[in-house]
Amino acid sequence: MLGSMNRYLQGSMLLLAVCVLSACGIMRSSVVVEPAPGNTYRNAPSVVAPSPARTPIPGGSYQVMHGDTLYSIAFRKGVDFRDLAQWNNIAAPYTIWPGQQLILSPHAKQDSGHAATLPPAKSATTSVATAPMFEPVLPAPAAAPAESAGPAVAATASAAHSPVSGTTVARPVVPAVAATVPNVVPVAGVPAEAPAAMPPPAPPAAGVSRVVSGVQWHWPADGTLVGRFSSGDAIPGIEIAGKAGDPVRAAADGVVVYSGNGLVGYGELVIIKHNDSFLSAYGHNRKRLVKEGQRVSRGQQIAEMGSTGASRNELEFQIRKDGNPVDPLTYLPQR
């Protein structure tokens, strides 16, 4: 009897030991190992949330017409050109084509010819035996100095050694961001051409200028101020009356991003981009003297005053900051 009880107790203790060891094994397999301090790890790719819109969102869509540029469409719809490009997944230099449908909101991108298709999300549970949860990223070797720096920047790749697979993995390097002021502005329906040789910009016209928000502003025309800014106007700007043929000048250094007559109510119109925040517009001209992609200097003549789209000879002048109309008189020098 005593021997039977001893054998029973020994068997129970053995079974308990096996269970404890099994539990410990399970516990050990579920331990999360934290990366050592100072090491860099690459997680699964994530989708970057779009930045909030800089202007009220109009919604709906717009069909691109011949002669449009992304800048002129953004100007017409009262949005910032960067938002319009982001909503439609269009990268610089913002090439568009006639008939293309552009979405005027950050939603419902499926109607756009440039709609972004995201890959399906991968499961968060990955077998440790087949792939690591984290992959170390080793420092890239120092790059050799370039002999010359050109306008175009080619994408390069760096290599990192994976300690799990023992193989070398190529890592693409994102190319440098394009310049904030474009050299070529794509126009819908117009074949892209190499930029023509332009004469050197004219020296700034004599007169008082004023620096506001990092831009040096100059009056765009002589004449009488006959209309002041009101944010509620359909065409929010100022009107400067003059004679037919009077010179219309660039209010600040920049590049022409639109030169045409496709915006209703503006007549012959020129739009200049000064930096990523500021655009200026010059409407009702008799004749335009510049074209898209042309760099201009403050005070340089860009058009002749006229009455296209207006009942008298005048310049309709606007300044937009991040897509929003602002009072030009708060930027122009007093006179």
Does 203 reside within a domain? no
- Rounded to an integer, what distance in angstroms lies between the CA atom of residue 162 and that of residue 82? 38
Does 267 reside within a domain? yes
pLDDT in tens, 272-328: 999 999 999 999 999 999 999 999 999 999 999 999 999 999 999 999 999 999 999
Residue 287's domain is classified under what CATH number?
Answer: 2.70.70.10
- Rounded to an integer, what distance in angstroms lies between the CA atom of residue 315 and that of residue 284? 6
Does 119 reside within a domain? no
Q: What Å distances lie between residue 47 and 50, 112, 119, 184, 220, CA to CA? A: 9, 19, 10, 30, 44
pLDDT in tens, 26-85: 444 334 444 444 444 344 444 445 567 777 887 899 999 999 999 999 999 999 999 999
For residue 20, the number of C-alpha atoms closer than 13 Å in the C-beta half-sphere is 6
Q: How many domains does the chain have?
A: 1
pLDDT in tens, 117-168: 333 333 333 333 333 333 344 444 444 444 444 434 334 344 444 444 444 4
What's this model's pTM, rounded to 2 decimal places?
0.64
- Do strands 268-273 and 295-296 pair parallel, antiparallel, or not at all (unpaired)? unpaired
Torsional sign, CA 322, 323, 325, 329: positive
Q: What are phi and psi of 40, to 5 degrees?
A: -105, 130
3-state SS assignment for residue 56: coil
Amino acid at 166: G
Q: Return the pLDDT at 192.
A: 74
Q: What are phi and psi of 48, to 5 degrees?
A: -80, 130
pLDDT in tens, 88-125: 999 999 999 999 999 999 975 444 444 443 333 333 33
Does 9 reside within a domain? no
Q: What Å distances lie between residue 220 and 31, 79, 150, 161, CA to CA? A: 70, 24, 34, 59
3-state SS assignment for residue 212: strand
Torsional sign, CA 238, 241, 245, 249: negative
Q: Where are the beta strands (DSSP E) in 242-277?
A: 247-249, 254-260, 268-273
pLDDT in tens, 231-253: 888 899 999 999 999 999 999 99
What is the domain range of residue 262?
Answer: 209-330
Q: What is the CA radius of gyration of the chain?
A: 31
From 232, 224, 231, 219, select the one nearest 312 (Cα to Cα): 224
Mean pLDDT of the chain: 74
Does 260 reside within a domain? yes
Helices (H) and strands (E) in the chain, counts: 3, 18
Q: Return the pLDDT at 89.
A: 95
Does 293 reside within a domain? yes
Does 190 reside within a domain? no
Does 152 reside within a domain? no
Q: What is the DSSP letter of 130?
A: T
Most trustworthy range by pLDDT among 19-23, 150-154, 174-178: 19-23
Inter-residue contact 192 to 184 (CB < 8 Å)? yes
Quick one: 101 exposed, middle or buried, by C-beta within 10 A (0-12, 13-18, 19+)? middle
For the chain, give the percent of residues with pLDDT over 90: 51
